[in-house]
Amino acid sequence: MVINVFQAALLGLFACLASMPGLGGTSIGNYTLGRPLVAGLIVGLILGDMTLGIIVGMAIQVVYIALVTPGGTVSADVRAACYIGIPLAMMAVKAQGLDPNSADAAALATTLGATCGTLGAILFYGTATINLAWQGMGWKWLEKGDTHKLYLVDMVLPWISHIVCSFIPTFVIVYFGQDMVSFIMNSLPMDGLPMKTLFALGSLLPCVGIAILLKQVIAKPTDFLTFFFGFTLAAVMGCNLIAASAIACFFALINFQISTLKNRPVVAAASGELTAADDEEEEDI
Amino acid sequence: MADTTAAKGGRKVSKKALAKSFRNWYYGNLTCFSQEHMQTFGYLVSMLPIVEDLYDKKEDQQKALTTYSAFFNTEPQIGSMIVGVTVGLEEARANGEAIDDETINGIRAGLMGPLAGIGDSLIVGTLIPILLGIAMGLSEGGSPLGAIFYIVVWNLLAYFGMRLAYYRGYDLGGAAVEALVGPNATALRDAIVMVGTMVIGAVCATWVSISTSLQLPGGGTLQGTLDGIYPKLLPLGFTILCWWLMTKKKVSPIVTMLILLVIAFVGAAVGFFGAATIAAPTA
């Protein structure tokens, strides 16, 4: 598998669109193109091996299942995990001659993707820092009454930040790094300690992603029971995720009905407003 | 809070300006992000069509727009409601109601925190993981189906959800937000978080595959013994370990990953972790 200039440039473009303050916008860029599962499909299509792309993307996705950036602090960068990590991981899996469907391939992809994502945080801070310059110009234009130039500040000039911090790093690392990945992979024996560590780490890393999510939703110790219930559904009773979601919705419905029963007097007092709330919330589900 | 529902006889923001303002927010809320002014410029460009529609004189437009140059940051999907609310306030101000910059910015600053909390836990922490969990199930073995499912479902929900929040904020003003934090809304939110927590449990059991290749002295494998106690005990144990490190010990995710690296190295060296192909089932 060889990545040509055109393919590397396309990956660079997607990196510009997908990053956290990305030019694809938040919903389409960060939350769609910046999810490793989706990126796996895109990178797979660009590099001509969709199946491998998706398998690699999926392995990395578990680590980043809940990438929340409270107050703009990031511990990982999606553009690097997706558009640098996935291509390199695909190269590595091919170079090692691993079966794409094997746990080894998933573990290798996870380790490489998470490493790129973690080191890539520097790209996030780089982009945000360069954007300060455009914002500085924006304040001057606003003061002068050149209000239409605000569009330039918000939607056009950040492209420069992204050419520097997304396009060029992705292009360079993917295009020039491919030989290095193949070389490293070929020189490491499969049963040596470095590869074994890599595989073991790859199987452990998804725990961090799940734990980040747990950190948010577990408010009191009994919340662990809910988590454990879902775990048991899949681990012991063999439910797949759709079945587990359906069962979860059923229990949540019961829980909701009990809670609203407790709120009954309040409901009567302000029913108009609350109906509106329900409609609104249901749209969000 | 001022009545923002309708402008008394005077100016009303045109449908076209509202649509443009929403589009600008939908696309541009974070495109020019910096640590200093996170979503401020996204906010400015989404208010620009509104002030141009409401005020004829250039100086008035500029003066009104300057109100929104204060720092702004929230969860952008649900935060579109705040933009809608301020459009209503700006409309009332254009019709001569006594609303000053401080009032608008006070409301804005008061709303962005709570809505960020709701959005982060409900959308980023629950909705997206549930969708991704289902999508990964559909994509098992490398099928594009799951990825396509996620692209379609997420984007429809995000676009129409944000649109609804924006227009509801504009129509109802502060009441729209009060409805989001009322007792029934809280009950619904708890129920949704409950679904999320269960799905995460299922994701953990389905997508984390950790196994040991350690042979027990008396014959048999440690993995076999662990499976006898509870299936998938290692994924559960390591997940709880990470949670404990990050929550109770305040360790950052990056340091947690480094701790796992040490565990992986030592584990591989002593033979606890072997070649995954031999021991682990296919993910």
pLDDT of A276 reads 47
Query: Which is nearest to A277 in space by CA: B181, B113, B166, B163?
Result: B181
pLDDT digits (tens, 9 = 90+) for B185-232: 888 888 888 998 999 999 999 888 898 888 888 778 888 888 888 889
Task: Say what percent of chain B tops pLDDT 70.
Answer: 94
Of B122, B148, B194, the CB nearest to A251: B194
Most confidently predicted of A95-104, A202-211, B104-113, B154-163:
B154-163
- Quote the pLDDT of residue B277: 43
Among A183, A215, A247, the domain boundary falls at A215
Say yes or no: A246 and A184 in one domain.
Answer: no
Q: What range does the domain containing A238 cover?
A: 220-284
- B217: distance to nearest CA of chain A, Å? 22
Residues A123 and A230 both lie in one domain: no
Last residue of a domain, one of A161, A186, A215: A215
Is there a contact between A212 and B76 if contact means CB atoms under 8 Å apart?
no
pLDDT tens per residue, chain A (285 residues)?
A: 789 999 999 999 999 999 878 898 999 999 999 999 999 999 999 999 999 999 999 999 998 887 666 555 667 888 999 999 999 999 999 988 889 888 889 999 999 999 998 888 899 989 999 999 999 999 999 998 888 999 999 999 999 999 999 999 999 999 998 888 888 888 888 778 888 898 899 899 999 989 988 888 888 888 899 999 999 999 999 898 889 999 999 999 999 999 888 877 654 455 455 444 444 444 444
pLDDT bracket for residue B282 (50, 70, 90): very low
Question: What was the pLDDT predicted at A252?
Answer: 92
Same domain, A232 and A274: yes
- pLDDT of amino acid B242: 94
In this prediction, residue A175 carries a pLDDT of 93
> Quick one: closest CA in B to A285, which residue?
B127
Chain B, window 205-244: residues with a beta carbon less than 8 angstroms from a chain A beta carbon:
205-211, 230-232, 235-236, 238-243
Given a cut of 70, whether residue B104 has pLDDT beyond it is yes
- Interchain CB distance below 8 Å, B65 and A142: yes
The residue out of A168, A183, A215 marking a domain boundary is A215
Which chain A residues are Cβ-neighbours of B137 within 8 angstroms? 240-242
Please say if the pLDDT value at position B8 is more than 80: no
* pLDDT at res. B7: 41
Q: Do A263 and A143 reside in the same domain of the chain? A: no
Both A159 and A254 in a single domain?
Answer: no
Facing B32 at nearest CB: one of A26, A153, A227: A153
- Within this chain, do residues A178 and A256 fall inside the same structural domain, yes or no? no
Q: Are residues A209 and A238 in the same domain?
A: no
Phi, psi of A97 (to 5 degrees): 65, 30
Mark whether A186 and A80 lie in a shared domain. Answer: yes
Q: How many CA atoms lie within 13 A of B128 on its CB side?
A: 28
| Residue B9 pLDDT level (bands cut at 50, 70, 90) | low
Shortest alpha-carbon distance between residue B46 and chain A (Å): 10
Name the least confident of A65-74, B11-20, B97-106, B132-141. A65-74
Residue-level pLDDT at A192: 84
Contacts of A62 in chain B (CB under 8 A): 136, 203, 207-208
Interface of A with B in 251-270 (CB under 8 A): 251-253, 255-256, 259-260, 263, 266-267, 270
Give the C-alpha separation, A16 to A3, whole Å. 19
The DSSP annotation for A27-69 comes to IIIIIIITSHHHHHHHHHHHHT-HHHHHHHHHHHHHHTTT---
- How many angstroms separate the CA atoms of A37 and A34, rounded? 9
* A135 and A108 together in one domain: yes
| Model pLDDT, residue A265 | 64
Do A12 and A70 lie in one domain? The reply is: yes
**Total domain count, chain A:** 2
pLDDT of A196 reads 87
Same domain, residue pair A14 and A152: yes
Whether residues A163 and A243 fall in one domain: no
Contacts (Cβ under 8 Å, ≥6 apart) of A202: A59, A106, A107, A108, A109, A110, A111, B276
* CA contacts within 13 A on the Cβ side of B246: 26
DSSP single-letter state for residue B65: H
Higher pLDDT: B110 or B175? It is: B110
For the ranges A30-39, B212-221, B233-242, B256-265, the lowest mean pLDDT is seen at B212-221
Q: Which of B134, B142, B247 sits opposite A51 (nearest CB)?
A: B142
